[in-house]
Structure 1
Amino acid sequence: MIVWIFIIVAHFAMRRQTKHEQRDPAAFRAWFYPVSNWVAAAA
């Protein structure tokens, strides 16, 4: 479970870093972001 929590935290950090960069919208797509991260963390 700790590994999954670190993955979720890393995903949030990566999204925050790359938020202002120009990139292909299909390059990194996560379904239901950020709701899916919070649901996974709560589970």
Structure 2
Amino acid sequence: MKIVARLLLFVVLLVVMVKVLDTNSNQDNVNKTTIAQVKQ
């Protein structure tokens, strides 16, 4: 059971990391689009 609990914790951490990375990349894209609009 301990091994299963550790696997679950590991999976949850991975999902959280992926979500954080996705939000960061989305913010970068928004910043790039706003900069492009300002240049126009």
**TM-score, length basis structure 2:** 0.47
Bigger proportion of residues as helix: 2
Larger radius of gyration, structure 1 or 2? Answer: 2
